[in-house]
Chain A
Amino acid sequence: MTAQTFNRMTPYMFLIPAAVTMGIALLYPLGYMIYGSFRDWDPSQNISETEFVGLKNYITLFFDPAFHESLSVTLIFAFTVVVAEMLIGVGLALLLDRNIRGISVLRTLFILPMMIAPVVVGLMWRYMYHPTVGTFNRTLKSLGFEGIDWLGQHALLSVIIADIWQWTPFILILSLAALQSLPASALEAARIDGATTWQQIWHIKLPLMMPVLVVTALLRLIDAFKVLEVILVMTEGGPGLSTEIVALRISRTATEFRELGTAAAMSNYLLLLLLFLTMAMFAISRIQEARAARLARQIEEESG
């Protein structure tokens, strides 16, 4: 091998390990899953021993009320969580965007919940929600109120609250970063024009932040579909199917009902749904970016 060819090969050699790993552990499994979703597949079987059943798994799921319920639980969970977290997170960011002492310490404390394992978050909240020994009901009772059946009658709400606790800081931090990178000139110009705080927020800050906010919302939405451990530890999907998100149902179908084919078909449905949502959000984010850029230019021109 001459030095020349060696140099020409270099980029490929740098890329090969990554390509091989992702091929083996991501692409191939996804293909395998699509193949498996057309088969009647028991965990004790090798896939070559399984029977081809066509679209049966997909059709069964399409008419399965339990799957519908878990799909709607997932959608309710994901959208509620994202909307609530965006509102609270952006709101807090606007409030905290001030020049105060110790902001970095604050940020450190706020990212703590995100760094801790979901399993641990689940167990902390399961303890706090406990009907008799839990923190919430004890506090309520010591104040003379009735205890609330958190994980029984209000399971979905309780799970949503726990997720809001864990992930609002994510949005807060990103919004803060976005706020602090806004062009100072634009804000200065608005202040000179005599805009009130609200007007500044509505007409300048929010529109300029929009591209970041859309991406943030997109990332949160994607992650909301991945939440599993917190719910597993807190409620195991119950009571009834009231907190059984699709991810949990996939894992139950695979391990408890031992129907890998159906679980694979379910995974495909989930993947298609996510693909659709991601594409939609991606398109929105491109549009927003263009609009924000136009707005920024406009402000620059006006002030300049």
Chain B
Amino acid sequence: MLKTTQRIALGAVSALALTVAASAGPYDDYEGETLIVNFPAHPHFDAVMRILPEFTAETGIEVEVDQLPYLKMRERQTLELAQDEGEYDLIAYVVFSKADYVYADQLENLARYFMNPKLADPAYDPDDLIDGYVYNIGFAGGNKGYLEGKTGSLFGIPYGSETSILGYRTDIFEKHGLSVPETYDELLDIACRIPELEPGMGGLSSRAASGHHASHAFLLHLAPLGGRIFDDQWNPIVNNAAGAEAANALKTIVDCGPEGSTSFGFGEALGSFLNGDTAMFLDTTVVAGQINDPSKSKVVGNVGWALHPMGVRRGSQTGGFGIGIPANAENKEAAFLLMQWLTSKKGDKLVALAGGNPSRFSTHADADVNAKFPHMATFGEALKHADPDWRPIIPVWGKINADLGTTLSKVLTEGLDVQEALDGVAERTRAVMEEAGYYTWQ
């Protein structure tokens, strides 16, 4: 059924394109080219798959998509970007790949394209892009190398970016007269009361599986509780009081969580919320589409949204994906046109309506989008508290992340002492940083 509506929409658009073509459009030179792009298997990019036919109809540029799970995608890109001539014209990358790719000179600096009057769309309105996302995902070379700053410049545009949000079961909360948690104390308290109130139900479903997932869940709590991985001199401080508190919070949440949650990845954590096995879900905004989809979710209509609870400060995560042009791409200019079209006001709204995550302020405020997805307003509010520094985006992060993730998993499953675990992480992190030369100036 969707196919037919799509085809009607396509017809309308191509009729439109015909009238526009008379005035020698910016896409004429690239008509008939085929772009090969690398996107992750991710709800946002599934939405992108739905709007891509529209781009082709409008511009005559074909797009071939290679969709991979995001950890696999990174492996593939590592290899592709290192070649003299790569296969991909446009790639989506995970936030923490930014450091590696820019450092290895593998992403195009976008200045060259936004300066080019034939390519840059005057109606693009870059100021409308959400600041936190742009600096977190697209920007490199600023403060600390990965934050906003005078020395930085743009290498990618946020697309499919996300922040964290608390989803809760309105029916359960009403039934027991619970109020929506606003602080971490309340959150942990309710998370552990739910299994008592509703036998068989877990409090909060969190990811906890060994590796990236456990590390992600920990960092999610670290920023609001006032912790950081490093201080300003790159000394690891993950083992201070705030770090221990965050790890304990994670442990409490997992202990009071649904059955089997120590092995949950993102999919399982979400699945258990969708299946009604747990009363709360604290993770990325990307899940909203699935929670409202009756074919996947048993909790349609029973989910409310609230801001990520506050510890000593507000600090929801910033994450997700950006899109950039590999330095070894073949059709860079056409790739830029696709990138610009996707992140334009129109593209952003289209993808939001198709179930993706918008990266513009105007889309969050858009009436059509809000009418279709009422939660969009809360999401927009959450964005104001998004913390771009919730995890360090430096080239050696992958290694530290893996160590943090496995060590925390040991805390959760093998009863390793929290302080001992974090001390170990800090010590190994220091060695990694030392080797990478972060203490050269001390």
Interface residues, chain A, CB within 8 Å of chain B? 43-45, 66, 130-132, 137, 147, 149-153, 155, 235-242, 255-258
What are some 17 contacts across the A-B interface (CB < 8 A)? A43-B78, A131-B263, A132-B275, A147-B260, A150-B260, A152-B261, A152-B413, A155-B263, A236-B209, A238-B263, A239-B412, A239-B413, A240-B410, A240-B414, A241-B406, A256-B402, A257-B399
Residue numbers in B under 8 Å from A239 (CB-CB): 208-210, 262-263, 409-410, 412-414
Task: Specify the main secondary structure of chain A where it touches its partner.
Answer: loop
B409 contacts A132, CB within 8 Å? Answer: no
Distance from A28 Cβ to chain B, minimum over Cβ atoms (Å): 21
Give residues in B with beta carbon < 8 Å to A.
71, 75, 78-79, 81-82, 104, 208-211, 258-263, 272, 275, 277, 398-399, 402, 406-407, 409-410, 412-414
Most chain A CB within 10 A, of B78, B104, B262, B275, is at B262
Closest partner residue, chain B, to A155 (CB atom): B263
Q: A132, B414: Cβ atoms under 8 Å? A: no
B81, B406, B412: most-surrounded residue (chain A CB, <10 A): B406
B91: min CB distance to chain A, Å: 15
Assess the B413–A256 pair: CB atoms within 8 A: no
> Once the chains bind, are A149 and B263 in contact (CB under 8 Å)?
yes
Question: Other CB < 8 Å A-B pairs besides A137-B259, A236-B209, A236-B210, 10 of them?
Answer: A43-B78, A152-B262, A237-B211, A239-B210, A240-B210, A240-B406, A240-B414, A242-B414, A256-B402, A257-B398
Assembly CA distance A151 to B260 (angstroms): 8
Partner of A152, one of B104, B263, B406, B407: B263
**Distance in Å from the Cβ of A25 to the closest Cβ of chain B?**
20
Residues of B with C-beta under 8 A to A153: 262, 413
Q: Are B414's CB and A238's CB within 8 A?
A: no
Contact A238 B260, beta carbon cutoff 8 Å: no
Contact B406 A132 (CB under 8 A): no
Q: Chain B's nearest CB lies how many Å from the CB of A72? A: 14
Complex Cα spacing A242 to B410, Å: 9
Expressed in whole angstroms, the Cα–Cα distance for A253 and B439 within the complex equals 25
A66 to B81, CA, bound (A): 30
B interface secondary structure, majority: helix
Q: How far, in angstroms, from A255 to B275 measured CA to CA in the complex?
A: 34
Q: Give Cα A92–Cα B36 distance, bound, in whole angstroms.
A: 56
The chain A residue sitting closest to B410, CB to CB, is: A240
Q: In the complex, A256→B402 CA distance in Å?
A: 9
Chain B residues whose CB sits within 8 angstroms of the CB of A150 once the complex forms: 260
| Partner pick for A44 among B82, B399, B410, B414, CB 8 A cutoff | B82
In the assembled complex, the CB of B415 is this many whole angstroms from the nearest CB of chain A, namely 10
Q: A131 CA to B406 CA in the complex, in Å?
A: 21
CB distance from B416 to the nearest CB of A (A): 8
Which residues of chain A come closer than 8 Å to B75, judged between CB atoms? 255-256
Can you list the 10 inter-chain pairs with the closest CB atoms, starting with the nearest?
A131-B260, A238-B210, A44-B82, A152-B262, A240-B410, A152-B263, A239-B413, A240-B409, A239-B409, A239-B210
The minimal Cβ–Cβ distance linking A242 to chain B, given in whole angstroms, is 7
With A43-B78, A147-B259, A239-B412 as known contacts, state yes or no: A132 contacts B210, CB within 8 Å. Answer: no
With A44-B78, A257-B402 as known contacts, state yes or no: A152 contacts B210, CB within 8 Å: no
In the bound assembly, the distance between CA atoms of A257 and B275 in angstroms comes to: 35
Given A44-B78, A255-B75, A256-B402, A242-B413 contact (CB < 8 Å): yes
Residues of chain A contacted by B211 (CB below 8 angstroms): 236-238
Closest residue of chain A to B83 (Cβ to Cβ) is A44
Q: Are A258 and B259 in contact (CB under 8 A)?
A: no
Q: A242 contacts which chain B residues (CB < 8 A)?
A: 413-414
What is the distance, in angstroms, from B181's C-beta to the closest C-beta of chain A?
25
Q: How far is the CA of A235 from the CA of B407 in the complex (A)?
A: 16
A152 to B414, CA, bound (A): 10
Interface centre among B71, B208, B210, B399 (most CB of A within 10 A): B210
* A253 to B209 CA separation, bound complex (whole angstroms): 18
Contacts of B277 in A (CB 8 A): 132
Alpha-carbon gap, A257 to B210, bound state (A): 15
B275 contacts across to A, CB distance below 8 A: 132
Docked pose: A236 CA to B210 CA in angstroms: 8
A150 CA to B260 CA, complexed, in Å: 8
CA distance A130 to B277 in the complex (A): 14
In the assembly, what is the distance between CA of A152 and CA of B211, in Å?
14
B78: A residues at CB distance < 8 A: 43-44, 255, 258
CA distance A240 to B413 in the complex (A): 8
A18 CB, nearest partner CB in chain B, Å: 31
